Amino acid sequence: MPTAPPRMATAAVYEAPNTPFVLKQFPLRPVRRDEVLVRVSMSTICRSDIHSYEGRRPNPCPGILGHEIIGVIAAIGEDIERDMRGEPLKIGDRITWSEYFFEGQCYYREVHDMPQKCQGLRKYGHDLAAEDPHFLGGFAEYCYILPGTWILKLPPDLSDEEATPLNCGVATMAAVTEAAAISLGDNVVIQGLGLLGLYGAAMAKARGARCVIGLDAVPSRLKVASNFGVDHAIDISCGGAQSVVTQIRTLCPPDGADTVIEVCGIPEVIRQGLQMLRVGGRYVLAGLVNPDANVTIDANMLVKRWITMCGVHNYHPRHLIQALDFVMANRGRFPFKEIVDAKFALKDLDAAFKKAAERTVLRAAIVP
């Protein structure tokens, strides 16, 4: 049982793009009947945190970044009795929760079952630190969980390193894998072998893919890829785009890959990805999260070859459950724990961001 939350707690405040984080204290207030307060166990730095920090994407400041978070319940409102799967919740439980929250009715949720696209949706790590309840981001000692968040209890034998990326990277890949509609025996190509790509490879294998081909240019990523289900890791910096397409078509007889998944964030790769697919193949785009990802494609190829392209962004609450269940069922098969390969104290957040931005670590964790 954790001790009662203190009166004040510390956060690493993002004051402006490209300036050092500043440790500050803010008051903790009692939870309302439909809120939870957690003591943060671990937060990991997502690529979008880096985009915010580097000013390539607007984020309110001063604020508290971080949305890949897990924590232990320190206080729980009287209306919150169970998690999204019906498990009872109490003080001391370690939990994950959706990176976004939304209250009320919205057309996209009610009609199209896309709560992740509700108008007025809010995300953790995207608020002003000065406003109540101050703590709504991962890089802090505490975090409030507001109404309209989906909460999921974590099993005790799951490590923090495996649990922390669940609510962003892993759940997104569960959504991507669903959209990829992988059949038993499919050949799957993954463009980009960061956290998303490595989890994507493991999920493709876990769905019965026969052959998973991973593409990247970072040697350290190519090296670990085989541990995560990648059968062929191809260095795209060798030999030119056309050579990569040719290699893949050779590896996927008789006529190319069934599915290509883009999680590298580079629009130019789309043209090559299309050329890797068989007639009737499927292309899922998920890494192109920044505006103006312009690319020129030959629409005739889509027509003649019955290609389907679809985009995926964020995830449905069911994917958070799938992410957890996937990791629990496959943690003996794939060393997910190793993806979080560096830990930092809250006071060392600048150093952590530096390493993450340089890609010298796969996923940097903060243990506040």
Query: Residue 174, interface with a copy of itself (CB under 8 A)?
Result: yes
Query: Residue 241, interface with a copy of itself (CB under 8 A)?
Result: no
Query: Residue 189, interface with a copy of itself (CB under 8 A)?
Result: no
How far apart are alpha carbons 332 and 158 in whole angstroms? 11
Q: Which of residues 40-99 bind a copy of itself (CB under 8 A)?
A: 84-87
- Residues 331-350, one symbol each (x = binds a copy of itself by CB under 8 A, - = not), give --------------------
How far apart are alpha carbons 155 and 212 in whole angstroms? 29
Q: Which residues pair with 63 in a beta bridge?
A: 14, 128
Q: Least separation, in Å, of the C-beta of 326 and a copy of itself? A: 5
Q: Least separation, in Å, of the C-beta of 308 and a copy of itself? A: 4
Q: Which of 254, 291, 26 is nearest to 135 (CA)?
A: 26
Q: How far is CA 109 from CA 102, 170, 171, in A?
A: 10, 22, 18
Q: Least separation, in Å, of the C-beta of 368 and a copy of itself? A: 28
Segment near a copy of itself (CB under 8 A), from 14-22, 68-76, 157-165, 278-286? 278-286
Q: How far is CA 51 from CA 46, 75, 130, 308, in A?
A: 9, 32, 22, 29
Instruction: Please calculate the CA angle 363-365-368 and round it to the nearest 5 degrees.
Output: 170
List 3, 58, 88, 184, residue binding a copy of itself (CB under 8 A): 184
Q: Least separation, in Å, of the C-beta of 9 and a copy of itself? A: 27
Toward a copy of itself, which CB reaches closer, 134 or 316? 316
Toward a copy of itself, which CB reaches closer, 73 or 174? 174
- Residues 200-219, one symbol each (x = binds a copy of itself by CB under 8 A, - = not), give ---x--xxxxx---------
Q: Which of residues 288-307 bind a copy of itself (CB under 8 A)?
A: 288-307
Q: Which of 347, 330, 327, 334 is nearest to 160 (CA)?
A: 327
Query: Are the CB atoms for 192 and 267 separated by under 8 Å?
Result: no
Q: What does 54-89 look like in DSSP terms, one character per residue?
A: TTSS---SSB----EEEEEEEEE-TT--B-TTS-B-
Query: Are the CB atoms for 239 and 287 separated by under 8 Å?
Result: no
Q: Which of residues 122-161 bind a copy of itself (CB under 8 A)?
A: 150
List 181, 328, 342, 357, residue binding a copy of itself (CB under 8 A): 328
List 6, 60, 77, 267, residue binding a copy of itself (CB under 8 A): 267
How far apart are alpha carbons 90 and 80 in whole angstroms? 9
Count of chain residues binding a copy of itself (CB under 8 A): 71
